[in-house]
Structure 1
């Protein structure tokens, strides 16, 4: 009887234990392979098909009103010359108007000390940004500017009007280069493959370096100005991440 009671108690105790408490759960988490981050830049070059030139007029006079009036007269003549040269109105844009008082800081007192600056008048400046869509005519355009009264010239700044096709080529080359590098690192480090995780892009749409400022005057315009357009490039930089997998 006692044996039967013990067996019954054991059975009852077993029945009281929840089934879940007796189960065994095993979770396996795959090891995360290293992540390779690559910064790849590729460029595609082409002949420029558009050029930007800065030009303008500076005038000086004893009064601000006279300086501005003289400047307006010369600038009107310059704009007319550009229009006559075939430059569309949309491609001529004012980039800055400036009026400054001018002082001479060189005078000195009899004892050698610095004398107060001497007022000498006003300087007015009006600057234009001109887009030329015939690269072969850049030299001729510069000469016409000077002949029309331009006293400052900056540029030329060569570019590609629509860099999108070049960017597509550069983008494809950059991604191909990144893939090759990722595969190399995977094999060199003993991994089976490289899996693409992310791509981010920055690009330069064929914008050349900042142009150098050149000052020109009528007396310097006897010879035709030679201009060499060379090549400009469109660049794409990709930041690409690959996970190396066993």
Structure 2
């Protein structure tokens, strides 16, 4: 059984990547840009509890010349935050503002519905109706009669799958430009297995 729901929450991974031959300089540069990104998010009234650091790393990368001789080390610094945006109409503006503030990595955008209970109920009812119809069809073809239901199992209904608008995701414009994003619809799928007594 399937049910469709309009998303009202967006999840975005926003990252800042910095490189420098000096580890302290790389960290300082990354921290400064990350703060600007955080300040940009605050302008969109993103609650602090909806901004969670998911990765901070410092990685030394050895550099070599054409002869294979090591010439130095470049330090890569990454800081990624997981942002929950509860006004999905602002997704494009938030991404544009974050990039303008210094973000240079948008790893993913996911849409969800804060309350899926009604849609899940519809999907379950649809799944049961489909299962009953199929069982009756099979019983008729086999020349038997369905008896009482012995067992019912329900599966699925977890992470909803997106159904994108025809436009899909748009590409970004210049720095700071709003990024066109289409949330589309989400589909919740529930499978039901019903075991009947056969007469």
Give yes or no for TM over 0.5. Answer: yes
Would you say the 8 A contact 2:98–2:176 is kept in 1? no
- How far residue 104 of structure 1 moved from its aligned partner, in angstroms, is 3.2
1:38-49 aligned within 5 A = 42-49=1-8
Q: What is the deviation of 1:118?
A: 4.1
Structure 1 distance, partners of 2:154, 2:63, is 52
Provide the residue aligned with 2:66 in structure 1: 108
The CA distance in 1 between the partners of 2:197 and 2:35, in whole Å, is 63
Closer, same or farther: CA 84–224 of 1 in aligned 2, 3 Å: closer
Q: Report deviation, 1:146.
A: 0.8
Matched with 1:84 is 43
Contact kept? 1:206, 1:233, Cα under 8 Å: no
Residue 229 of structure 1 corresponds to: 183
Structure 2, unmatched stretches of 5+, are 163-170
Partner of 2:33: 74
Residue 202 of structure 1: aligned partner: 155
| Deviation for aligned residue 1:70 | 1.7
1:206: Cα distance to partner?
Answer: 4.7
Asked if structure 1 preserves the Cα contact closer than 8 Å seen for 2:100 and 2:176, the reply is no
- C-alpha distance after superposition, 1:141-193 (max 9, x if no partner): 11111111111112321111111110000001101111111111111111122
Q: Is the CA contact (8 Å cut-off) linking 2:63 and 2:74 kept in structure 1? A: no
* Counterpart contact for 1:93–1:129, Cα < 8 Å: yes
User: Which one has a bigger Cα radius of gyration?
Assistant: 1
Distance 1:222 1:126 in 2: 20
After superposition, give the CA deviation of every residue in 1:65-93 in whole Å (9 maximum; x if it has no partner): 22122211211111111112110111111
CA contact 2:40–2:98 (8 Å) conserved in 1: yes
Q: Is there any run of 5+ residues in structure 1 with no aligned partner, and where? A: 1-41, 110-114, 210-214
Give the structure 2 partner of residue 239 of structure 1: 193
- Tell me the distance in 1 between the aligned counterparts of 2:54 and 2:153: 34
Q: Deviations over 1:210-234 (max 9, x none)?
A: xxxxx98xx9326431111111111
CA 1:222–1:89 in 2, change beyond 3 Å: closer, same or farther?
closer
The 1:79–1:208 alpha-carbon spacing in structure 2 relative to 1, beyond 3 Å, is farther
Aligned length: 192
TM-score (norm 1): 0.71
Instruction: Report the secondary structure of 1:220's partner residue.
Output: coil
Residue 117 of structure 1: how far off its partner (Å):
4.7
